[in-house]
Amino acid sequence: MELRNIAIIAHVDHGKTTLVDAMLRQSGTFRENQQVAERVMDSNDLEKERGITILAKCTSVEWKGMRINIVDTPGHADFGGEVERILSMVDGVVVLVDAAEGPMPQTKFVTGKALGLGLKPIVVINKVDRGDARPHEVHDECFDLFAALDADDEQLDFPTMFAVGRDGWADDSLEGPRKDLSALFDLIVRHVPPPTRDLDKPFSMLATTLEADPYLGRILTGRIHTGVVKTNMAVKGLDREGNLIENFRAAKILAFRGIERVPVEQAEAGDIVCISGMTKPTVADTLCAPEVTEPLKAQPIDPPTLAMIF
């Protein structure tokens, strides 16, 4: 299945959850509105029962035979390289902005890093139904923000959609019929490049997030950089310097489907998956086939971009 990996950057309350929910409903992932509601509730109940976070930080929707992985970005500024690692999993970003409030200072940090990584932004100006909406001004504010963050010409030529996520529509104009999110799905597929799928090289993946599951133990999530990983395959963990941390077997491989994670037999370069079976490797380490010697690194962001923000 063809893939796209995106992150949504949004200030809290600008409508990210509502929009992703509408994307789930309208995509092929779930057919009935009812089902999404039930699944969300199921997960929450399970969460309460187990007292852990099992809700994925990644959601995937299907659109015209294509899978779009949507990665959650932390809204807060972070100095541990977490944002770079998360953004290194995606090939494009949707910058979601409230049509009345405009871009907020708190999202500049993540937006600046995304632009510094060369990711092409799509701007979604949301909540255009608000009485105090000023969509065109907000569009210009996004342009000015990107320019101040050193965006290149291609990034400044960003496509814009106007949306009411709550009503489940997004369109490139404020006039005309308002149907659904098809135009946004199509834009994501068209504008965001597909991940490189280097299947000839051995398996390698940069571990991006870590969690502890009571049944599966340690779980590391990341984007597969090269090759294929199969359940039970021999894998090793390398630290940032390339030192061996542990040899283990990929006990379980989980892929994102809607808001759930499902076990899969194998996964390929380009996809974002969770792997269990290790006891020592952690975030920023590389999981790879035994013959790999070079660790993966998240691309550092050039200093001038950061200087613009602080």
Pick from 18, 107, 221, 286: which binds ligand GDP (CB under 6 A)?
18
Q: Does 15 bind ligand GDP (CB under 6 A)?
A: yes
Q: Which of 18, 19, 17 has its CA nearest to residue 188?
A: 19
Q: Which of 203, 200, 248 has its CA nearest to residue 230?
A: 203
> Please, which of residues 112-151 interact with ligand GDP by CB under 6 A?
126-127, 129-130
**At its nearest, how many Å lie between ligand GDP and the CB of residue 17?**
3
Is residue 33 part of an annotated ligand binding site? no
Q: Which residues contact 196 (CB under 8 A, 6 or more apart)?
A: 269, 270
Is residue 247 part of an annotated ligand binding site? no
Is residue 139 part of an annotated ligand binding site? no
Pick from 39, 166, 191, 230: which binds ligand GDP (CB under 6 A)?
166
Is residue 5 part of an annotated ligand binding site? no
Distance CA 254, CA 108 (A): 32
Distance CA 268, CA 147 (A): 36
- Residue 206, classed as helix, strand or coil, is strand
Pick from 3, 5, 9, 14: which binds ligand GDP (CB under 6 A)?
14
Closer CB to ligand GDP, residue 97 or residue 301?
97
Question: Facing residues of 194 across strands?
Answer: none
The CA-based dihedral angle spanning residues 17, 20, 25, 27, taken in that order and rounded to the nearest 10 degrees = 180
- Build a one-symbol-per-residue string for 234-273: x at contacts with ligand GDP by CB under 6 A, - elsewhere: ----------------------------------------
Q: Are 289 and 203 in contact (CB under 8 A)?
A: yes
Binding site residues, as ranges?
A: 13-18, 126-129
- Binding stretches for ligand GDP (CB under 6 A): 10, 12-18, 126-127, 129-130, 164-166
Residue ranges of the annotated binding site for GTP are 13-18, 126-129
